[in-house]
Structure 1
């Protein structure tokens, strides 16, 4: 089943076009890695999918429902969570307060509390530092907090923008392993924008390569990872 369908999507900033007729399908319960050089349009794609950038053409459907006309705040309630580049942690709030933000809109307070407890189980460093302020955390802990806050909303689709940026290889491996575990154990669907191509392809089911605002290739992640000629042609290594 296709959970997210993007058809001929175009968008940009003012008069500057960035995305040009992007087509993309994300199957339910899979990890899709969006790859490409800086300036390819990857971040703009995620921002357009969550209403932060308004499309100038095309269509986005989530679970069969057209998202055109949705307010930004509606996306979370529909089951879409977005962790932007830079992690988005509120530096002046504690870990516990940051996590509480992820469940503010939820009416089921008991399940929101259960989801918070699950995040602490997933990320043991956060459990130990629940009363620490955001600015006191390491880069890896801030990334864990940003992902954890998104998970409290119990999304069906998680959009992640450069989760490994600035992190040590060991922490990057932990984040990637967590995403794979969530896919396998809960059926979470992930759309992952990542510069660390090898890490992304190690957990992804499919790879989408972008260049100059267009999708130039969509294929199985294994094929993209193992075929040297494809990597040279589309990813430069």
Structure 2
């Protein structure tokens, strides 16, 4: 579904990605792992169009995304949940969700999608009229995911959803991401520093180190490779 080939990107003189190749199968969950500064967030920002690549190709179902505007990439079915969620705290939970489907013209379909989000994330339903600023960290992350899903994306890019959350909340979020693939057929590209949690739900895992791919394996194979885990994942 998603193919990245020879991708090079960076900020000013800093090269954050250097010739990255990866492929993401439709309906799968692929985890991108690595230490701080490995290039994980840059990869998602480049795929979603927030950062223009210096070289290489990004293709969704064969269509090159590298020069498309962000709004066109969204319309093709790509949603990006940035690190720390990025919810609009001044808006209510319901308003944030509706914002996720703003470009959809079918209001009834949007209402159904919002209702589905409350079913997927039950803690949000009783808080639908509250400002997002009143939510806990875990609830904000749920809202960020739900807002992205309201637009019914085919490819969901998720950056560090476990950051600063309790283990119980992390487990719940990871289970939802796995369910999205298994039951809804969505495709997820997940960036995580919590490698244990990510590997427990992923189909495949890619490890980045200083902007290059050092491993690309089925998640179970990578989890069993103690040498690689110790060298790059810290466990």
CA–CA separation in structure 1 for the residues paired with 2:68 and 2:56:
15
In the other structure, the counterpart of 1:153 is 151
CA–CA separation in structure 1 for the residues paired with 2:12 and 2:71:
22
* Partner deviation per Cα, 1:192-225 (whole Å, 9 max, x = no partner): 0001100000000001000001111100100111
In the other structure, the counterpart of 2:4 is 6
Which of 193, 196, 203 is the equivalent residue of 2:194? 196
SS at match of 1:113: helix
* Partner deviation per Cα, 1:164-209 (whole Å, 9 max, x = no partner): 0011100000000011111100111000000110000000000100
Task: Please report the TM-score for the alignment, with normalisation by the length of structure 1.
Answer: 0.97
Cα root mean square deviation, aligned:
0.9
Which of 170, 177, 180 is the equivalent residue of 1:179? 177
Task: Please report the TM-score for the alignment, with normalisation by the length of structure 2.
Answer: 0.98
Q: Alpha-carbon deviation of 1:227?
A: 2.5
Question: Which segments of 5 or more consecutive residues in structure 1 lack a partner in the other structure?
Answer: none
CA–CA separation in structure 2 for the residues paired with 1:69 and 1:168:
39
Question: Which segments of 5 or more consecutive residues in structure 2 lack a partner in the other structure?
Answer: none
Question: Number of residues paired by the alignment?
Answer: 235
Q: Alpha-carbon deviation of 1:82?
A: 0.3
Bigger mean CA offset, 106-115 vs 136-145: 106-115
CA–CA separation in structure 2 for the residues paired with 1:176 and 1:142:
15
Which of 112, 135, 138 is the equivalent residue of 1:137? 135
CA–CA separation in structure 1 for the residues paired with 2:208 and 2:15:
15
In the other structure, the counterpart of 2:83 is 85
Please list every run of at least 4 consecutive aligned residues from structure 1 whose deviation after the TM superposition is greater than 6 angstroms.
none
Q: Alpha-carbon deviation of 1:85?
A: 0.1
SS at match of 2:44: helix
Give yes or no for contact 2:52–2:67 (8 Å, CA) kept in 1: no
CA–CA separation in structure 2 for the residues paired with 1:38 and 1:233:
14
How do 1:48-127 and structure 2 match up within 5 A? 48-127=46-125
CA–CA separation in structure 2 for the residues paired with 1:214 and 1:57:
14
Q: Alpha-carbon deviation of 1:235?
A: 2.0
CA–CA separation in structure 1 for the residues paired with 2:225 and 2:13:
38
CA–CA separation in structure 2 for the residues paired with 1:180 and 1:45:
21
CA–CA separation in structure 1 for the residues paired with 2:184 and 2:21:
27
CA–CA separation in structure 2 for the residues paired with 1:99 and 1:206:
30
CA–CA separation in structure 1 for the residues paired with 2:180 and 2:65:
25
In the other structure, the counterpart of 1:164 is 162
Q: Alpha-carbon deviation of 1:108?
A: 1.8
In the other structure, the counterpart of 1:234 is 232
